[in-house]
């Protein structure tokens, strides 16, 4: 079947560019990152400004919008817009060398020096109509090699819960970006009847195509995209992936540590057409997980790196703190995200009010101030300290903010509280599948049990209900009642005693934790053990890559899980593998859970059902039963 077409990336060119004196440096938010309060950690903008007086200027024919457009972090009156426009697809190394760009000027080194670091002037326009006649906001802004030629601006003076269209162009030319679409949130006190989110995590470039991102575009089924992290992975292809077999080798093809490395890796991921079109059509609300820096990252290191001398030498004479700074800077340059505190370059935790219906709280349970985690070689130690009262997934400052946010949400009368956490909140006893004497995953909330208990205590003690926790990271799907085991009585048959629900999603393309080539029967067998050994776990699936959607109303939340039959080719196929309902005020999954029937995995008190193959020719979505997977 032919894959439904997605918007093409097109570039128009002209012949001249004039930099107007009205262009503002501060408008490009990436010049303000990572910190305006500590200039030594940021960019010396006054030095960049001096280069703008250079008599030489870029020929628009040498400039291209290389990676589409994106929007994110929507408010009721503003939204962040992003693009990249530069002389090459390659990324800046932060001290540009002649070998990098001299070829653009026929090896005229003098002209290279004069021009290569010259800023690029960019205009942006925001329109209230798809015909792009009603201009509602716009401006002129600079970018340059200092910020990898990225542009990030805040479109302002917008109306709440309204769709807008936007476009960038090189100043005084016809070199234009593609047109993007975005949407503001409602005012915090607006009564809205419904809102929908698509939730993603764990997109690993060499393991497969990011088809899941494109499917929500093809259906146009949500208002916003929430990404829970692992947007990129830091590994070399040969260390984790099979990119050679599907022509998806991440660049640079090594473990990334430098600023250039992280920029280049983000740029490589942005060549995936389904990811590009998701950014183009939906505003994103993203947060990082560990692999945006490195595996099992925490405050002071990762599974393979810390600030010791041996680590410094092994990783090419880059300290962990330097590596982390490089990763954070590149992330803020490339993602359509607000830096909510400009003097705290690690603060990514933030919240969004979507009318009176939803408060979305995005946590950082990885990099901000997380106590030491399971680093594979210290699992016994992580087990021994897992219930230590001094341990925190997020640090005292973020933790207090989190509890205050939950209380404020309840006090203002928001119907639903949605908590975006990278790692699984609920207990997961994986003793059968893991086959070791430490059955819990101490890199998840299970490794920080006092922190989890403090969270549950705050919810139960203050009577805060209608809580929906989200999680990614695990490369599998988990749906659980949210319970305080050992403290509050819980009935797994009825759900009584629960204080909410957790929806954890599988990966966009990262492999199943039990092996990339696991069979469907083998995956379902493991799922049955996991579901059996965890009372609060109501459904579990290991087999499918995919995503889920959340559809909110004042009465209920509907969660719809979609599985992808294959990600080793680009396609628009998906299977609706399970659906769940949470009724307002009940704080548990509606019984029978999943309607009593799912397409895959193991459902407590329910069954799996296989259906016949059907094809929806209107949107190109394939619904394929287990028995019919051979047609692929």
268-319 pLDDT, tens digit per residue, is 999 999 999 999 999 999 999 999 999 999 999 999 887 666 666 566 678 8
> What is residue 165's predicted lDDT score, i.e. its pLDDT?
98
> What is residue 304's predicted lDDT score, i.e. its pLDDT?
87
Is residue 248 within 8 A of residue 268, CB to CB? The reply is no
Least confident segment among 31-45, 49-63, 484-498:
31-45
> What is residue 52's predicted lDDT score, i.e. its pLDDT?
67
Q: Are residues 95 and 153 in the same domain?
A: yes
40 pLDDT exceeds 60? no
> What is residue 378's predicted lDDT score, i.e. its pLDDT?
92
Residue 11 counted as domain residue: no
Using one digit for the tens of pLDDT, what is the confidence trace for 493-517? 999 999 999 999 999 999 999 999 9
Number of domains in the chain: 2
* Strands 224-227 and 283-286, sheet pairing: parallel
Using one digit for the tens of pLDDT, what is the confidence trace for 170-208? 998 999 999 999 999 999 999 999 999 999 999 999 999
Structure tokens that stand for 351 in this block: 């919240």
Residue 619 counted as domain residue: yes
Q: Are residues 366 and 486 in the same domain?
A: yes
Work out the mean pLDDT of the chain and round it to a whole number: 87
46 pLDDT exceeds 80? no
Q: Are residues 101 and 179 in the same domain?
A: yes
Residue 323 counted as domain residue: yes
> What is residue 42's predicted lDDT score, i.e. its pLDDT?
67
Point out which residues pair with 200 in neighbouring strands: 227
Q: In CATH, what number is assigned to the domain containing residue 399? A: 3.60.21.70
Residue 2 counted as domain residue: no
Boundary-marking domain end, from 154, 183, 212: 183
Q: Are residues 207 and 179 in the same domain?
A: no
Residue 8 counted as domain residue: no
> What is residue 12's predicted lDDT score, i.e. its pLDDT?
34
DSSP codes, 567-631: SSS-----EEEEEEEEETTT-SBPSSGGGGEESSSEETT-EE-----EEETTTTEEE--GGGGGG
Structure tokens that stand for 527 in this block: 């799922």
Among residues 320, 330, 329, 318, the alpha carbon closest in space to that of 294 is found at: 320
DSSP character for 476?
A: S
Q: Residue 26 — pLDDT band, cuts 50, 70, 90?
A: confident
Q: Are residues 143 and 224 in the same domain?
A: no
Boundary-marking domain end, from 157, 183, 209: 183
Residue 23 counted as domain residue: no
Q: Are residues 120 and 237 in the same domain?
A: no
Query: What is the helix (H) or strand (E) element at residue 530, kind and residue range?
Result: helix 520-532
Q: In CATH, what number is assigned to the domain containing residue 73? A: 2.60.40.380
Q: Show Cβ contacts of residue 525 under 8 Å, excluding neighbours closer than 6 positions.
A: none
47 pLDDT exceeds 90? no
Q: Are residues 411 and 530 in the same domain?
A: yes
Overall average pLDDT of the 598-619 stretch? 73
Range of the domain at 400: 194-631
Among residues 216, 257, 101, the alpha carbon closest in space to that of 619 is found at: 216
Q: Helix or strand or coil: residue 560?
A: strand
Q: Residue 421 — pLDDT band, cuts 50, 70, 90?
A: very high
Among residues 374, 606, 478, the alpha carbon closest in space to that of 469 is found at: 478
Q: Are residues 108 and 130 in the same domain?
A: yes
Q: Are residues 134 and 278 in the same domain?
A: no
Q: Are residues 311 and 400 in the same domain?
A: yes
21 pLDDT exceeds 70? no
> What is residue 205's predicted lDDT score, i.e. its pLDDT?
98
Overall average pLDDT of the 138-153 stretch? 94
Residue 210 counted as domain residue: yes
Q: Are residues 232 and 169 in the same domain?
A: no
Report d(CA 155, CA 148) in Å as an integer.
21
DSSP codes, 282-319: SEEEE---STTT-TT-BTTB-SS--SSHHHHHHTTS--
The residue among 15 and 375 whose pLDDT is bigger is 375
Residue 529 counted as domain residue: yes
Residue 479 φ then ψ, to 5°: -130, 120
Report d(CA 289, CA 296) in Å as an integer.
9
363 pLDDT exceeds 50? yes
Q: Are residues 450 and 422 in the same domain?
A: yes
Boundary-marking domain end, from 183, 204, 236: 183
């Amino acid at each position: 079947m032919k894959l439904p077409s997605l918007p093409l990336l097109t570039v128009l060119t002209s012949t001249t560019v004039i930099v107007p004196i009205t262009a503002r440096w501060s408008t490009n938010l990436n010049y303000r990152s990572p910190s305006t309060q500590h200039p030594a950690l940021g960019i010396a903008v006054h030095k960049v400004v001096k280069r703008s007086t250079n008599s030489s200027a870029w020929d628009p024919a040498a400039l291209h919008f290389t990676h589409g457009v994106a929007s994110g972090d929507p408010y009721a009156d503003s939204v962040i817009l992003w693009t990249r426009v530069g002389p090459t697809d390659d990324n800046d190394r932060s001290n540009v060398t002649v070998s990098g760009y001299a070829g653009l000027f026929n090896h005229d080194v003098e002209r290279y020096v004069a021009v290569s670091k010259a800023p690029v002037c960019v205009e942006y326009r925001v329109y209230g109509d798809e015909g792009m006649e009603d201009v509602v906001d716009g401006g002129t802004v600079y970018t340059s090699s200092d910020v990898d030629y990225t542009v990030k601006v805040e479109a302002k003076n917008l109306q709440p819960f309204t769709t807008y269209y936007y476009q960038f162009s090189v100043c005084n030319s016809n070199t234009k970006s593609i047109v993007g679409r975005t949407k503001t949130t409602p005012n915090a006190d607006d009564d809205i009847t419904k809102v929908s989110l698509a939730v993603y995590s764990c997109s690993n470039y060499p393991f497969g195509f990011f088809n899941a991102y494109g499917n929500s575009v093809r259906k146009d089924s949500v208002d916003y995209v929430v990404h829970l992290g692992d947007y990129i992975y830091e590994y070399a292809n040969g260390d984790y992936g099979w990119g050679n077999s599907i022509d998806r080798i991440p660049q640079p093809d090594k473990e990334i540590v430098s600023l250039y490395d992280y920029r280049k890796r983000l740029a490589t991921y942005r060549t995936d057409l389904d990811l590009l079109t998701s950014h183009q059509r939906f505003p994103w609300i993203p947060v990082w997980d560990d692999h945006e820096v490195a595996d099992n990252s925490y405050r002071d290191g990762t599974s393979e790196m810390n600030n010791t001398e041996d680590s410094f030498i092994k990783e090419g004479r880059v300290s962990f703190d330097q590596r982390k700074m490089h990763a954070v800077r590149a992330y803020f340059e490339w993602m359509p995200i607000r830096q909510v505190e400009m003097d705290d370059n690690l603060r990514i935790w933030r919240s969004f009010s979507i009318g009176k219906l939803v408060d979305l709280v995005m946590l950082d349970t990885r990099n901000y101030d997380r106590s030491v985690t399971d680093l594979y070689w210290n699992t016994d130690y992580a087990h021994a300290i897992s219930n230590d009262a001094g341990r925190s997934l997020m640090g005292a400052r973020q933790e207090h903010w989190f509890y205050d946010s939950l209380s404020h949400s309840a006090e203002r009368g928001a119907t639903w509280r949605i908590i975006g956490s990278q790692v699984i909140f609920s207990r997961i006893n994986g003793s059968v599948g893991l086959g070791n004497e430490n059955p819990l995953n101490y890199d998840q909330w299970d490794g920080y049990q006092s922190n989890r208990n403090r969270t549950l205590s705050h919810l139960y003690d203050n009577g805060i209900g209608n809580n929906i926790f989200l999680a990614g990271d695990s490369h599998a799907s988990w749906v659980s009642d949210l319970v305080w085991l050992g403290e509050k009585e819980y009935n797994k048959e009825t759900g009584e005693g629960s204080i909410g629900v957790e929806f954890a999603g599988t990966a966009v393309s990262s492999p199943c934790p039990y092996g990339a080539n696991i069979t469907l029967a083998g995956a379902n067998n493991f799922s049955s053990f996991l579901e059996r050994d965890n009372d609060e776990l109501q459904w579990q699936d290991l087999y499918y890559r995919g995503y889920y959607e959340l559809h909110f109303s004042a009465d209920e939340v509907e969660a719809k899980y979609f599985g992808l039959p294959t990600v080793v080719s680009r396609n628009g196929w998906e299977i609706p593998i399970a659906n769940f309902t949470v009724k307002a005020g009940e704080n548990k999954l509606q019984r029978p859970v999943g309607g009593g029937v799912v397409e895959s995995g193991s459902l407590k008190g329910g069954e799996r059902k296989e259906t016949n193959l059907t094809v929806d020719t209107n949107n190109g979505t394939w619904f394929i039963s287990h028995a019919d997977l051979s047609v692929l």
